């Protein structure tokens, strides 16, 4: 009887260990969370997929790498996503849309309240936290990257791949 009881306990434990936790959003992606990110070694993934809600303070199209930088003021309850270094940028969470995703991820307008989904990362180079890359933004306009921006991003990615040890 003891052997059967131990067997049932082990089977129950094994089944519960295989259960997968549901992602925080249906917009979470599989694969490498930093796929398509320029110099990913500067980023430490804190959560593979996180959700943030807040108000867009600023939107900047970066010519160098084609990313769109969004400064997001998190709503109450989402401040946990910030690090001390985010104070240097007005207490905002940096959200970055990469060129490869701009044909499917909306670019929000300053002043809009949005939900964003993507990897929550610590940027060791700047000392702040980010959602990078953003996989989904709840409001905005699709603004695909130009062929020149995509080409520049591809060259940067090829260069950063050759920088890896």
Residue-wise pLDDT for 57-68, tens only, equals 999 999 888 999
Please tell me the predicted confidence (pLDDT) of residue 102.
95
Residue 13 in any domain: the answer is no
Please tell me the predicted confidence (pLDDT) of residue 21.
66
| pLDDT one-digit tens code per residue, 104-150 | 999 999 999 999 999 999 999 999 999 999 999 999 999 999 999 99
Q: Domain residues for 108?
A: 40-163
Residue 89 in any domain: the answer is yes
Total of domains in the chain: 1
Residue 141 in any domain: the answer is yes
Residue 99 in any domain: the answer is yes
Residue 34 in any domain: the answer is no
Which CATH number is 128's domain given?
2.40.50.140
Residue 52 in any domain: the answer is yes
| pLDDT one-digit tens code per residue, 14-31 | 444 444 666 778 899 999
Contact in structure between 50 and 34 (CB atoms under 8 Å): no
């Amino acid at each position: 009887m003891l052997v059967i009881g131990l067997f049932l306990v082990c089977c129950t434990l094994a089944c519960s260990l295989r259960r997968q936790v549901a992602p925080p959003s249906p917009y979470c992606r599989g694969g490498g969370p930093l796929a398509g990110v320029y110099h990913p070694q500067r980023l430490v993934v804190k959560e593979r997929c996180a959700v943030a809600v807040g108000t867009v303070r600023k939107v900047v199209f970066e010519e160098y790498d084609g990313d769109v930088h969004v400064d997001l003021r998190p709503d109450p309850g989402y401040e946990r996503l910030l690090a001390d270094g985010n104070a240097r940028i007005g207490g905002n969470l940096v959200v970055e849309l990469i060129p490869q995703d701009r044909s499917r991820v909306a670019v929000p307008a300053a002043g809009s309240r949005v939900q964003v989904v993507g990897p929550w990362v610590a940027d060791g180079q700047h000392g702040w936290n980010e959602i990078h890359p953003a996989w989904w933004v709840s409001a905005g306009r699709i603004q695909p990257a130009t062929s020149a921006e995509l080409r520049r991003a591809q060259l940067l990615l090829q260069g950063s791949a050759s920088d890896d040890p």
